[in-house]
Structure 1
């Protein structure tokens, strides 16, 4: 993935909910640079989720309806520890 698209992904990681911003900020700083192209595509798709749904997925209050995105959600959760 090219640098321009990576910058777009980082920008889209900024959300309207502070709690969500804090979780994604840590993930973007620590894990995003290590992701391969397929994982970046999954992360970009996950970012299309509404803020409240995404927060619920990350906090385990609801399950993402797309099983293919579960591994990236797990990586975001692991970055919080």
Structure 2
């Protein structure tokens, strides 16, 4: 069975998307742990947990939107190029 361009691009881009999601999820978990450690050691943490989680969630959504758009555009350009040939 021969793999075409669309399948190869989709597999690579899906892997990148999952990897970036894993990194951002790990950052959110680490920021929660850091916040809990700050609460354990001092009565007033240096920053608010909601602020850091909001920034991370917003970054997570924006990166996912950009990567998803890139995946769709790449697949369409490969498919159009293959149809042109």
TM-score, scaled relative to structure 1: 0.31
Q: Which has the higher helix share?
A: 2
TM-score, scaled relative to structure 2: 0.30
Query: Which structure has more RCO (C-alpha within 8 Å, separation ≥ 6)?
Result: 2
- Bigger radius of gyration, 1 or 2? 2
